Amino acid sequence: MTKKPIVYIAIRSPPCRAVLMTAAAIGLELDVQDIFRNLDKITNLNLCRTVPILDDNGVIVNDSHVIDTYLVEKYAADDSLYPKDPQKRREVDTLLYFDACHLFPRARLIVEPIFNHGAVEFEEFHIKHMQETYKLSENILGGSSYLCGEQLTIADLHAATSITSGMLYAPLHDETHPRIRAWLNRLSQLPYFDKINKEGLDVLIANIKQKIEENAKSKAQ
């Protein structure tokens, strides 16, 4: 008997939120397991011990971008989120790589010193580094409704989770990035976007606040 695909996540993670939103967009029900505090559970599924991880009845898929292309190709009613047309697919792939190589890593770098290196404040360099990606994203949007034109794709969902996470500590200035603000407002109209993304952002904020307090106490000892 085929079971619901299992996805192992940490809800504070932008890539995990992107996977949850992709599943919601295609109407796919997942068995969601938040294993943030039990990463040892996934060592046999991903030696890097990173989430998300998809277990689709024994088919293991790692990396959020790969997971989302897999889910759309296998379960979506159409290919609008990840087009089969070679030229359109290349456009989406390019923006997925943009998120994987620029947006998400820079958002992560802001909080990495807090979580893993005992820092008690954010480094200005990392904040400015994230804000540079806003400029790039503003240019990519141009006059379009979405990153790849007038059609929502999985590239939008990934970029949005990374940017909204970065925005927590690297402010987005509406006067210089009106296209991003309009794009985020457009995404917020999706029935699943705010619910899934806000839950993750709230957890991320709480985790960072707690970690800063712990690091400060440690330094004072």
| Residue 51 and residue 9 in contact, taking contact as beta carbons nearer than 8 Å | yes
pTM: 0.95
Q: Is the pLDDT of residue 182 over 80?
A: yes
Give the whole-angstrom CA distance, residue 92 versus residue 180: 18
Q: Is the pLDDT of residue 142 over 90?
A: yes
Q: Is the pLDDT of residue 85 over 70?
A: yes
pLDDT at residue 1, rounded to an integer? 58
Q: Is the pLDDT of residue 214 over 80?
A: yes
| Residue 39 and residue 11 in contact, taking contact as beta carbons nearer than 8 Å | no
CA-nearest of 95, 75, 72 to 84 is: 72
Q: Is 145 helix (H, G, I), strand (E, B) or coil?
A: coil
Q: Is the pLDDT of residue 66 over 80?
A: yes
Contact residues for 40 (Cβ-Cβ < 8 A; gap 6+):
49
Residues of the chain above pLDDT 90, percent: 90
Region 33-50: mean pLDDT is 79
Q: Is the pLDDT of residue 8 over 90?
A: yes
Give the whole-angstrom CA distance, residue 203 versus residue 34: 12
For the chain, domains (ranges, CATH) are 6-75 (3.40.30.10), 86-220 (1.20.1050.10)
Region 74-82: mean pLDDT is 98
Identify the H or E element spanning 32.
Answer: strand 31-34
Cis peptide before 52 (omega within 30 of 0): yes
Average pLDDT, the chain: 95
